[in-house]
Amino acid sequence: MSDELTYLEKVERFKEAHASAENRQAYLAAWAEMIREKLPAEATVRSIYTIEQLPPGAEARYVLDFDYVNAWIMPKMGAIPQNILQTEEVTINTFEIVNHVSYKMQLAKDGRMDVASRARQRLLDGLVDMEESQGWAVLKAAVTDDNIVNLTSSEEGLSLKTISGAFKKMEARRGYKVTGIFASPNKVADIREWTVTDISDEVQTRVFDDKGMGSIWGANIYPVYGLADTEAYFIDTRPGLLGYMPIRDELETFDDPVAVLSLRVGVIAHERLGFGVLDPDRIVKAVLD
């Protein structure tokens, strides 16, 4: 006998979840787990920074092995990234990220599960946009002139020669390695225009896998919404090297009691985290045409 619910059974459970304030609060609190599962695949910054869950009351303080620190942090949500020049240790500020969505109460009582599903996707999209904007602001601020690769007159876009040049720039430093290539979806699409003579059959198989863009020379390829077509980033994303994304409060979702006064179901999402780049040399920027 199948344990799977039928469509009508799912509808009835959805209606029941909105039948009382207590049921609604429990239902909306469960959204957090569903969104947390999707965040790592949606927010590229979670593939770049080393994520660390802070113990209660602990500071996001990092003692470094470097003789001299040239770090960048985000002081607060929407601020200008701050450069920290000091020795031995860096404290990364954490700040709140909050998002809110709502949908009509009557639609919930009618069993319109699709309405809640779209609202949950909007909530996820908003959180991703905020994490991306803050995390990438720090990454971009940390890039120095010494870590920039410019195209020659014979190159166009995210070419194989451009990627090779960025790898050379990174690998000139002992122990440094490109493990992630990040560019706008439009520039990542340049890779599809490589001819079969540019790369071997074996490299083609890795780059053009069945899920889309794969990897080249050990570096995964990531399209990043919000990056300009004039830039691509080559980053050493190995844990504990580039920087950290400390999380003080994991994502939680709550019922918005005020929304009920307007006959709507309101959902508030909240998390508290930070971003810090501790070794800017692990970022190489390619300036594209």
Residue 1 pLDDT: 41
Name the percent of the chain lying above pLDDT 90.
77
β-bridge mates for residue 285, sequence order: 148, 233
pLDDT at 205: 57
Confidence class for position 15, pLDDT limits 50, 70, 90:
very high
pLDDT digits (tens, 9 = 90+) for 71-122: 999 999 999 999 988 767 899 999 999 999 999 999 999 999 999 999 999 9
Contact 137, 148 (CB under 8 A): no
- Residue whose C-alpha is closest to residue 44's, from 278, 264, 235, 217: 235
31 pLDDT more than 60 = yes
pLDDT at 65: 73
Return the closest-CA partner of residue 105 out of 253, 256, 268, 262: 262
Instruction: Give the confidence band of 16 by pLDDT, cuts at 50, 70, 90.
Output: very high
pLDDT attached to residue 241:
94
Tokens of 200: 């071997």
- Cα torsion 47, 53, 57, 63: sign: negative
Give the rounded distance of the alpha carbon of 69 from its chain centre.
25
- Predicted TM-score of the model (pTM): 0.90
Type of residue found at 123: L
Q: How does pLDDT run across 248-257, given as a tens digit for each residue?
A: 999 999 999 9
Arithmetic mean of pLDDT over the chain: 90
Distance from C-alpha of 54 to C-alpha of 249, rounded to nearest angstrom: 8
Which residue has better confidence, 199 or 48?
A: 48
pLDDT of residue 2: 47
Q: How do residues 174-233 score in pLDDT, each as one tens digit?
A: 999 999 999 999 998 887 777 555 555 555 555 555 444 578 888 999 999 999 999 999
Task: Kindly compute the dihedral angle of the four CA atoms of residues 205, 208, 209, 210, in this order, to the nearest 10 degrees.
Answer: -130
**CA 19 from chain center: how many Å?**
35
